[in-house]
Structure 1
Amino acid sequence: MDDGITFRKFAAQDLDWLVESHATLYAREEGFDDSFGPLVADIARGFLVYHEIGKESGWIAEHDGHRLGCVFCVRADREGFAKLRLFLVLPEARGFGLGQRLLDTCMGFARGVGYEGMTLWTHKSHEAACALYAKNGWRCVAERPVHSFGCDLVEQTWEIVF
């Protein structure tokens, strides 16, 4: 069945939407303060300027011109590994498998360009995302309590080896 959702590459005109969506959603759902938006902006701007074509990519999911989510695959500090970043599915698009499709796209790209595995950073409170990672073979390899973005959180590092 065709649900009309398409994926395209992230572009400069998506920057404001990406930052605003992350900042608004995380403030509403997690209580993050206004330090989160600038971090997202720095990551996205850095991607636009410095990403390595052919080894790094970002995707926007949309339906009828409305952006519904995004995900990025970038080179990790660990040799042979990519990093999943800026993974977001808007609330109105949840529950229809879009998160799985975005994750499949990102992981498929990483495998296809020769990465040995992937890593990501998240928070334990993101239960749906963590369940999705676990279902797809990722494992939580580290966690620690932190105070970030105005909140007490448990920061997690997840990884998968292909």
Structure 2
Amino acid sequence: MRRFGLGVDIELKHLGPGDIDWLVAEHRRLYTRDEGFDETFPALVREILEDFDADHDPSCERAFIAWDGGQRLGSIFCVREDAQTAKLRLFLLTPAARGRGLGKRMLGECMGFARASGYRRMALWTHESHRAACALYEKTGWRLVRSEPKRSFGMAVVEQGWEIDL
């Protein structure tokens, strides 16, 4: 394991006990604070997580939950969109974990898993306001393929679609 200046070695674990509630709470806290999103957003996050937990295929879908000792730092998920395409979902880092290379590592692990699972490409959906994540996607070879204004989660947003060939 590699150290990221966050304390003990960072581990990437699969979804475990308490992770769903923690992820919903962190998405609620951060997206309400930073984006002004309403309660429909954490409700969507819970639905995505519960569906994943109940019905994911471990041969081609995986959760990566970043842990520093006993503290969760973030998540990234690889899920099946279709036979050729993996979908990146729920990429989140706590503010304390940002800017130290952990996001790049997590993205690389998720993409590596997708590649090893036989996917030929990955896709994701995000918002233009997530500038650091979008910069990371661009730096790692992702292409912006869609950008459109919408109203989601009680806010005016610019939704984006990104893709990369694996």
Q: What is the TM-score of this pair, normalised by structure 2?
A: 0.94
* Structure 1 Cα separation of the partners of residues 131 and 75 of structure 2: 18
Displacement of 1:13 after TM fit?
A: 2.4
What is the CA-CA distance between 1:2 and the residue it aligns to?
Answer: 2.9
What is the SS of the residue equivalent to 2:138? helix
Match 1:161 to one of 135, 159, 165: 165
Alignment correspondent of 1:10: 15
1:15-34 matches, cutoff 5 A: 15-34=20-39
Gapped regions of structure 2 (runs ≥ 5): none
* Secondary structure of 1:59's aligned partner: strand
2:45 to 25, 37, 40: 40
What's the CA shift string for 1:91-138, capped at 9, x where partnerless? 011111111011011000000111001000000010000000000000
Q: CA deviation at 1:64?
A: 1.5
Instruction: Name the SS for the 2:58 alignment partner.
Output: coil
Q: Which residue of 2 aligns with 1:124?
A: 128
SS at match of 1:95: coil
CA contact (8 A) 1:118 1:159 kept: yes
Return the letter of the residue paired with 1:2.
R
The answer to whether 1:51 aligns with 2:56 is yes
Determine the C-alpha separation between the residues in 2 that align with 1:121 and 1:12.
27
Number of aligned positions between the proteins: 161
Displacement after TM superposition at 1:12 (Å): 4.1
3-state secondary structure, aligned to 1:11: coil
Q: Percent of counterpart pairs with the same letter? A: 52
Between the aligned partners of 1:157 and 1:12, the Cα distance in structure 2 is 31
Structure 1 residues 46 and 12, CA gap change in structure 2 (3 angstroms): farther
Q: If the length of structure 1 is used for normalisation, what is the TM-score?
A: 0.96
Q: 4+ residue stretches of structure 1 with deviation over 4 A?
A: none
What is the distance in 1 between the residues matched to 2:124 and 2:106? Answer: 14
Match runs of 1:145-160 below 5 Å? 145-160=149-164
Q: Which runs of 5+ in 1 are unaligned?
A: none
1:60 counterpart residue number: 65
